[in-house]
Amino acid sequence: MIFFKRVLARINRVLNPPKNIEEEFHAKYYYSKVWSETYFLGKKVFKCPNDLWLYQEMLWELRPDVIIECGTFHGGSALYYAKLFDMMDLDGEIITIDVDPMPDMPVHRRITYLVGSSTSSEIVGKVKELIEDKKKIMVILDSDHSKEHVLKELELYHGFVTPGSYLVVEDSNINGHPVYSGFGQGPGPWEAMEAFLPGHPEFVPDKTKEKFLMSFNPNGYLKRIK
């Protein structure tokens, strides 16, 4: 199955070549898979360093009380946000959710781990309880990247985002935006946003967050403007 997927990815790359130098670099970087061997203090973080740096700038600017993260994996991203809060001397917390987290998740006083599907009523109920007294809330969707799942998460979690803060839809670069295009791929986060945004004018993609020229989350930094 993995071999078949790799062959399809190669064919897709030939059939859908990059359109400009930014896309060319994005493709080169993405298919190198080095993002899956990126670490923060020894913990794997499945992110592009450009986006990690951007989160640092966003946390400094926004100073959220809590980040709700769907998709924990090894807990590297949760630890990164926690350490940023430490360095910034803020009272921030992270609630991170995974249906099948890795066994080596870091322990940190700011991180609360919830185990279960991000779209289950039990998990959404627990999140609601945990954020009851929070004033500035940011949400990051980084779990199952199928359109169907991301759209469900968008519907369930957008209401938690406070005005002026962000709902980040990660990995919107797949399914041809600009990587992993063509047959063999399916609609993903980009397509979920296309379905969600027309009914939610309170959220607008903040293109200034793509200033580093390559982001794994194109159009995915959704700012709540009202």
Ligand X SMILES: C[S@@+](CC[C@H](N)C(=O)[O-])C[C@H]1O[C@@H](n2cnc3c(N)ncnc32)[C@H](O)[C@@H]1O
| Residues forming the site for ligand X (CB under 6 A) | 45-47, 70-73, 76-77, 97-100, 117-118, 142-144
Torsion of CA 209, 212, 214, 219, to 10 degrees: 10
Residue closer to ligand X by CB (options 117, 173) is: 117
Task: Give the helix/strand (H/E) hosting 43.
Answer: strand 43-44
HEC-encoded secondary structure of 95-137: EEEECCCCCCCCCCCCEEEEECCCCCHHHHHHHHHHCCCCCCE
Residue closer to ligand X by CB (options 144, 210) is: 144
167 with 154: CB under 8 angstroms? yes
75 with 34: CB under 8 angstroms? no
Residue closer to ligand X by CB (options 97, 193) is: 97
β-sheet bridge partners, residue 213 = none
Query: How far is residue 174's CA from residue 177's CA, in Å, rounded to a whole number?
Result: 6
In the complex, least distance from residue 64 CB atom to ligand X, rounded to whole angstroms: 16
Residue closer to ligand X by CB (options 145, 223) is: 145
In the complex, least distance from residue 160 CB atom to ligand X, rounded to whole angstroms: 16
Give the CB-side neighbour count of residue 123, counting CA atoms within 13 A.
21
Amino acid present at 19:
K
In the complex, least distance from residue 140 CB atom to ligand X, rounded to whole angstroms: 7
Residue closer to ligand X by CB (options 143, 219) is: 143
In the complex, least distance from residue 19 CB atom to ligand X, rounded to whole angstroms: 26
In the complex, least distance from residue 46 CB atom to ligand X, rounded to whole angstroms: 4
